[in-house]
Structures are given as structure tokens and as C-alpha cells.
Chains A and B, each alone.
Chain A
Amino acid sequence: GAVVSQHPSRVICKSGTSVKIECRSLDFQATTMFWYRQFPKQSLMLMATSNEGSKATYEQGVEKDKFLINHASLTLSTLTVTSAHPEDSSFYICSAPPTVTGLNYGYTFGSGTRLTVV
């Protein structure tokens, strides 16, 4: 149980275009989703927390207008990188907390999206 499906796994886009990344909770309802960004050989940096039915909470220094987060339903959270530039190239990971499934399942992570902006 407690599976988060993240798509796409890899995407290459041109500078100036927008890319949407989806995370779906397959067998539970995720009222909250965390979005992380990981640079090569570096740690995961929390970007924002999405909450179903309300505005996302962004971490300090994260551009809200560039990284649009939407939590439209209890099973879907999306991250849209708008007007992407090469410096946005990174590995993006979503994670659902153990609020519903209990601590035994821990935090559930999507498999990640490798974004390359050319």
C-alpha cells in the first residue's frame, strides 16, 4: 500500500516552455504533498507543501510564480515549471506524509522526474 505514482519520469523541454509534473496517490488519499528538488550529488531541498483545497505553502527563496503547485483532489498534486530555463534542470520528487497510512508506511516518495531544459 501507500504508492505515489509520479509522471513523467524524464522530460526534455525547450527554454521558455512550461512543464507539468504529476503525482498521484494510488491507494490512499493524500491531503498533503511535499515537493522536493534535488541537484546532482546534493540533498533534497523542500520547495513547497501542497494541501488539497488550499494554496500551497512555499519555502523561503522558492519562486511561487515559476513553480506553480496545485492540489486539485485528494489523489492528485501537480507541479508546473513555468517558462523553464536551463537552471531549472533538476530532479523533482514528490512525497506524501504518513498521515493517512500511518507511520509504518513512512513517507511515500514518487520515483522522481528528471527535467532537462535545453
Chain B
Amino acid sequence: GDSVTQMEGPVTLSEEAFLTINCTYTATGYPSLFWYVQYPGEGLQLLLKATKADDKGSNKGFEATYRKETTSFHLEKGSVQVSDSAVYFCALTRYVNQGGKLIFGQGTELSVKP
């Protein structure tokens, strides 16, 4: 079945460091891909998305490119801030226009130190 694999955390970085969180997926066809963020004690928020190969999603300085050839959707940010400390989830769905279910990766906890 469909699955998402993320790099294990926690990831600890200093402020202004470069961030990469790896995400790879297994799915038939052309799934839509998402990154969600969960701040401490809160629900999930959509960070960015991409719906087809080579699409780049971006938001709040974060970027991720849909790579069909490597089945990846790595999350990057050039300069992290303390406020970026959160858990990040990569997710996919194969039937976005039909309201299909989201499959989540295991989540990667990011901690940014001043």
C-alpha cells in the first residue's frame, strides 16, 4: 500500500542554520504531496503542497520539490528560526480531487536553539 518515510528526528539546529528534512514515498500513480507542521500543543497546519511532478511548494521560507524520479519531497529552509521548532509531517494522497485519505509519515521533530 501507499506509504511515506521521513528521516528520523529529533533534529537539533542552531538559529539561521540550513534545514533539510528528507521524505520519500511509495505510491502508484501520481499522488499529491504535502508537508504539515504541528506546533507544541496544537493541531496540524498545512505548510505547503505539490500536486504534480516537478512542482515546487513554498511557504514561510520553506520549500519542497516533487521529484517523481526519486519519489521524494524533501523539505528545505535556508535559515531556520527558533519559532520553527515543531514536528513536521510529510503526507500524500492519491485522490485529492475526490477527497481521498491522507497517509502520513512518522513525523520529524525539529528543535532550533538560539
Contacts and interface: CB of A to CB of B under 8 A. Distances in A.
B97 to A, nearest CB: 7
B28 interface: no
A98 B109 contact: no
Interface string A97-110: 11100010011011
Contacts of A99: 97-99
22 contacts: A32-B99, A34-B101, A36-B104, A41-B109, A42-B106, A43-B89, A43-B107, A46-B101, A46-B103, A49-B101, A95-B44, A97-B100, A98-B96, A98-B99, A99-B97, A103-B49, A103-B96, A103-B97, A109-B44, A109-B45, A111-B43, A112-B43
Contacts of A31: 99
Interface of B: 32, 34, 42-46, 49, 51, 87, 89, 96-107, 109
Interface residues of A, number: 23
A95 B98 CA distance: 14
Contacts of B100: 97
A43 B104 contact: yes
Interface string A40-60: 011110100100000000000
Contacts of A98: 96, 99
A84 interface: no
A110 B43 contact: yes
A93 interface: yes
A109 B43 contact: yes
Nearest to B51: A103
Contact of B99 (A44, A97, A111): A97
B89 A44 contact: yes
A42 to B, nearest CB: 7
Contacts of B49: 103, 106
A42 B89 CA distance: 10
Contacts of A6: 43
A93 B44 contact: yes
Contacts of A95: 44, 102
A108 to B, nearest CB: 9
A112 B41 CA distance: 9
A113 to B, nearest CB: 10
